Chains A and B, each alone.
Chain A
Amino acid sequence: GAGVSQTPSNKVTEKGKYVELRCDPISGHTALYWYRQSLGQGPEFLIYFQGTGAADDSGLPNDRFFAVRPEGSVSTLKIQRTERGDSAVYLCASSLTLDREDEQFFGPGTRLTVL
């Protein structure tokens, strides 16, 4: 079956611009996670959703970052006034539920480059 998909795969933007990154989770998965992976580092948690609501957004670095999941499926990560330090690979993952036994399945990521 289809895995987690993310679009675009690559995004190049200029400092100060607004970007949106999209995640399509595995069908039927109620939990969705966003992580950010900087070069040479492991992924760092940003936010996760149970259904339509953000259950934990403690990893968002500042108020320029925002994420939505209006219908409990597709999610969009939005970054305002991008900065060069936002350049990273943004990873999305989904799991069947939030149960700690449920595996998180990762998408291929969106590589964001801020010039």
Chain B
Amino acid sequence: GNSVTQMEGPVTLSEEAFLTINCTYTATGYPSLFWYVQYPGEGLQLLLKATKADDKGSNKGFEATYRKETTSFHLEKGSVQVSDSAVYFCALRDTGRRALTFGSGTRLQVQP
């Protein structure tokens, strides 16, 4: 079956620090990979996606590269801001399926 594993949080960083949130996956087909973000009091929003191996998704200074050889899709940002404080979810959508499979989420807290 499909599964997504994320590093446990919370991750606490100072402003302008480098961010990495690890995500690995198991899938039976050739999945598309996603990062969703949930800001306090708001609904889930798509942050970035990659649909095939070696693709890099990017948005708002965040990046993630689809690594088929290591089944990973780690989220990175070079310089975090207080406004990036949120819960981040890694997700996949496998070949032939339309539903998303999510990881358990990683809470990021950025301190000024």
Contact = CB atoms under 8 A, between A and B. Distances in A.
Nearest to A43: B102
B43 A42 contact: no
A95 B100 CA distance: 12
Interface in A19-45: 31, 33, 35, 40-45
A107 B44 CA distance: 8
Contacts of B44: 43, 91, 93, 106
B55 to A, nearest CB: 13
A41 B104 contact: yes
A101 interface: yes
Nearest to A44: B102
B43 A100 contact: no
A100 B102 contact: no
Contacts of A48: 98-99
B42 interface: yes
B81 interface: no
Interface in B24-43: 32, 36, 42-43
Contacts of A100: 32, 51, 93, 98
B104 A101 contact: no
Contact of A40 (B100, B101, B104): B104
Interface residues of B, number: 22
Contacts of B49: 103
Interface string B5-48: 00000000000000000000000000010001000001111100
Nearest to A97: B98
B105 interface: yes
B99 A42 contact: no
B91 interface: yes
A25 to B, nearest CB: 13
B100 A45 contact: yes
7 contacts: A33-B98, A40-B105, A41-B105, A45-B99, A100-B93, A108-B42, A109-B43
Interface of B: 4, 32, 36, 42-46, 49, 51, 89, 91, 93, 97-105
The 4 closest A-B pairs by CB, nearest first: A42-B102, A45-B99, A106-B44, A108-B43
